[in-house]
Amino acid sequence: MTNEFNDNQGQINIADGNSNISSEYYNGSAVNAVNVETQNINYYSNPPPRINIKKKASCKKIIVIGTIVLVIVTFMTYMFYAFFYFKQIPLKTVIDDYVLIHGGTFQMGSPKDENREEKKYKKEDDETQHKVEVGDFYISKYEITLKKFKTFINEAVHKTEAEKRSNYSIFDFNKNTWNVFENIDWQCNVSGGTQTDANQPVIYVSWKAANEYCEWLSGKLSREVDKKVIVRLPTEAEWEYACRAGTTTAFSTGNNLTTAEANYDGNLPYDDNPKGKFIKNTTSVGSYPPNRWGLYDMHGNAYEWCNDWYSSNYYDECKKKGTAKNPTGPTSGKYHILRGGSWRSYGKSCRSADRPGDPSESLDDTNNFVNLVSYVSFRPVIEIF
């Protein structure tokens, strides 16, 4: 009988001196045979359980190898997703304060019944409604703050036009006239004193200074993602598309803009709407509710520079094309577009479609008069890359 169990399995059980041989190894009749046999070979007296050591060792190996494989697989999976995550939305990892705007087609300008009081006197004949298509782009959620502009000035060791000058004019609302002030620049508040709230929009920025900021940010982002990233002022079409956020009314809030919804001169609200407050100052960006696409202060607070030159008949030219695709404005002009109204604007000037028909509100570096004002800021666009 002993010889029958000289294979490995037999040795295991005999070596253990254990009569409870597992039925995993032996079927019924074999087990009985072993039971008899083990009782007859007591002289083995507990020899080392050789095979069990091997089994334990191989278990350890499996656990170690398994763990290593698991770690490698987990790491590879993470890297795989990380690669696509960063590739798809790199800006999220670089800049938090930008919103991805999905392009589309919309009616730019205003319908005939909008701003009818002004149209009656032919004051606002530059908003001919026409179809425009814009592509995807990122746009700043907020007007550029003093804090952000200061970072640019410090990092770029830059001097704006204002800092190179000794004086220029700003509008005195109390006396309703232009006054010459000294030492006014981007660091100042609406009264010409030092701005203490760094979260308010930077003001007294010319179109040129706004472009210089964009160029600086462009270089910074390009270095960070090791790829050319274009940062620039929005086109007038991009600005209006982002402002409307899918709406077709005078404001993204409907046909009324209350002073609970935006910072502007509530003494003269749009149309027959009730009067509101007039703060006579800029407010911290994001103090009012955002539009449907998450953009703050598109109406009011500070006017915002666009990239385009102004031309009163540009919309008529666009309309002739059927659908204007990514229009960039006329090739030349006297002054650049400002949009959205400001803390000192009436309701009608804060409309989504309003364009600065009055040059005194938009003189810039091409003009020697007032090019830096207390109600103009900007918000950049980042092109998809």
CB of 370 vs Ca ion, minimal distance in Å: 18
Task: Give burial (CB, 10 Å; 0-12/13-18/19+) of 181.
Answer: middle
Is residue 266 part of the contact set for Ca ion (CB under 5 A)? no
Helices and strands in the chain: count of H runs, count of E runs: 10, 12
Rounded to whole angstroms, the Cα distance separating 298 from 142 reads 8
Is residue 240 part of the contact set for Ca ion (CB under 5 A)? no
CB of 350 vs Ca ion, minimal distance in Å: 8
CB of 366 vs Ca ion, minimal distance in Å: 20
CB of 80 vs Ca ion, minimal distance in Å: 42
CB nearer to Ca ion: pick between 103 and 357: 357
Rounded to whole angstroms, the Cα distance separating 85 from 94 reads 13
Phi-psi category of 284—alpha, beta or left, where left has phi over 0 and alpha has psi -120 to 50?
beta
Q: What is the dihedral of CA 77, 78, 84, 90, to 10 degrees?
A: 180
Question: Which residues neighbour 74 within 8 Å (Cβ) at sequence distance 6 or greater?
Answer: none
CB nearer to Ca ion: pick between 308 and 354: 354
Taking CB under 5 A as the binding criterion, the range among 16-24, 65-73, 89-97, 336-344 that sits at the site for Ca ion is 336-344
Q: What is the CA radius of gyration of the chain?
A: 37
CB of 377 vs Ca ion, minimal distance in Å: 7
Is residue 297 part of the contact set for Ca ion (CB under 5 A)? yes
| Among positions 354, 363, 364, 373, the unique one binding Ca ion when judged by CB under 5 A | 354
Which tokens go with 36? 């008899």
Amino acid at 229: V
Question: Which residues neighbour 315 within 8 Å (Cβ) at sequence distance 6 or greater?
Answer: 108, 109, 126, 127, 128, 129, 130
- What are the CA-CA distances from residue 230 to residues 283, 288, 294 (Å)? 29, 29, 22
CB of 328 vs Ca ion, minimal distance in Å: 20
CB nearer to Ca ion: pick between 265 and 297: 297
Size of the site for Ca ion (CB under 5 A): 6
Strand partners, 338: 305
Residues 301-330 that bind Ca ion (CB under 5 A): 301
Rounded to whole angstroms, the Cα distance separating 360 from 373 reads 10
Taking CB under 5 A as the binding criterion, the range among 157-165, 182-190, 269-277, 300-308 that sits at the site for Ca ion is 300-308
Is residue 357 part of the contact set for Ca ion (CB under 5 A)? yes
CB nearer to Ca ion: pick between 236 and 354: 354
Amino acid at 121: Y
CB of 322 vs Ca ion, minimal distance in Å: 25
Which tokens go with 345? 């604007």
Residue found by looking up tokens 């039925």 in the block:
23
CB of 348 vs Ca ion, minimal distance in Å: 8
Is residue 114 part of the contact set for Ca ion (CB under 5 A)? no
Is residue 340 part of the contact set for Ca ion (CB under 5 A)? yes
CB nearer to Ca ion: pick between 10 and 340: 340
Taking CB under 5 A as the binding criterion, the range among 68-76, 168-176, 225-233, 356-364 that sits at the site for Ca ion is 356-364
Is residue 109 part of the contact set for Ca ion (CB under 5 A)? no
Task: Give burial (CB, 10 Å; 0-12/13-18/19+) of 244.
Answer: buried
CB of 201 vs Ca ion, minimal distance in Å: 7
Q: Which residues bind Ca ion (CB under 5 A)?
A: 297, 301, 340, 354-355, 357
